[in-house]
Chain A
Amino acid sequence: MRSKKGAVAEDVLQYIPRILFLAIAIFSIVFLVRSYIVNSLDVKDVQAEVFMNRILYSPDGISYFDSDLQRIIPGTIDVTKFTDDTLNKLMDYKDDSFIAAKLELSDAANKKIAMASYNGKTFERWLPLRGETGPGGVKSTIRTYYVNYVQNKMTNQGILKIEMLQQGS
């Protein structure tokens, strides 16, 4: 027959797996709760879409503006407005290290028609970091649009490629 001390010791030993199981259950709950709480906000993809929409649809952007209708023609690029100056005046973020972009307009045969950049110096500086992950990395977003472009009062078909860089991928 076991003594009282023996019975208690055996009981405590039997509880060790139960306590281990309890610990696993507790950590699972903590992990689940923490994983459902969102603390960080990443709006880089939205920012990229909005940036490109501003370039394409804003009356002060690169799209052709019909002065008779007082509206832009979406999808039609005015080559005379396809400049660094147009882009830099269109969006003034006061911070050169927020967004940088490069635009290339080519004809249907892929021959370059015009190039423009937004924060051109920052774009060149960030190019080597493109694709690097982490806080020092640079996120690249590339979009290609089939557009018309107006040059010397003639409308032609072309391709517009926009590459946008944002710090911190």
Chain B
Amino acid sequence: MLKRGEAETRPLMYVAEAVIALLVFLAMFNYIKGVASNSLFEQNFMARDTALLTDSIYAAPGKMHVTYDTTVYPTTVFGIQTSPQRQLQFSFEDSKVFVYGDILTTLYPVSYPFGKDTHLEFRALGKLAKPPLPEEQPQQENLLFQKNSEELNVTVAQNAK
């Protein structure tokens, strides 16, 4: 049987432990949510991916068509959606792929270089003139790479689905 002093302090200790555990859970959840909702990682990934894709298309002999999905799909933590579906914007300039995530990153987009083949004409999307507002962002767009013996053309294509 618990003594009087123990009977008063033990429940308090259990509550304190529960509060600490809850605080840790909330802090971790908030941290994961912050990481998941930040588009910087996706921008870094897609800049590298599209630059390497462009290099690979240049390496391929003959004609080639490649469709690249630029959608960042939503993430969930414990079944709770932490970030919405987003669309990243791309531009190709000076042998670099620029990836724009949102208004904050429009001034300083993530970029990664690709090696332009000087024997082929390169035509691609120009640099964005202004930050894309959320309501202006297209619902679903893809990048379409088309290569033949004379040129490599990168355009925006609406997704069929």
| List of B residues within 8 angstroms of A50 by Cβ | 52, 55-56, 59
Interface residues of A, dominant DSSP: helix
Task: Say whether B20 faces chain A, with CB atoms less than 8 Å apart.
Answer: yes
Residues of A within 8 A of B95 (CB): 92-95
Chain B interface helix/strand/loop/mixed? helix
The one of A11, A30, A92 in contact with B10, judged by C-beta atoms closer than 8 angstroms, is A11
> Given A7, A22, A98, which contacts B4 in the complex, CB threshold below 8 Å?
A7
Contacts of A98 in B (CB 8 A): 113
CB < 8 Å neighbour of A4 from B5, B28, B116, B118: B5
- Would B115 and A91 count as touching, CB distance under 8 A? yes
Q: Does B94 contact A (CB under 8 A)?
A: yes
Does B108 have its Cβ within 8 Å of any Cβ on chain A? no
State which of B40-48, B66-74, B99-107, B133-141 sits at the interface with chain A. B40-48
Could you tell me how many residues of chain B have their Cβ less than 8 Å away from some Cβ of chain A? 40
- Which of the four size classes fits the interface of chain A? 35 or more
Q: Are A94 and B96 in contact (CB under 8 A)?
A: yes
Taking a contact as CB atoms under 8 Å apart, the answer to whether B117 and A60 are in contact is: yes
Is the Cβ of B115 less than 8 Å from the Cβ of A30? no
Contact B5 A37 (CB under 8 A): no
A95 to B94, CA, bound (A): 10
Q: Is B114 an interface residue (CB 8 A)?
A: yes
- A6 and B3 CA atoms in complex are apart in Å by 11
Assess whether A43 is interfacial by the CB under 8 Å rule. Answer: yes
Chain A residues in 8 Å Cβ range of B41: 38-39, 41
13 contacts between A and B (CB under 8 A): A6-B5, A11-B6, A11-B13, A33-B32, A41-B41, A46-B52, A58-B61, A89-B118, A91-B116, A91-B117, A92-B116, A93-B113, A94-B113
B residues contacting A by CB (< 8 A) are 3-6, 8-10, 13, 17, 20-21, 24, 28, 31-32, 35, 41, 44-45, 48, 52, 55-56, 58-62, 94-96, 113-120, 149
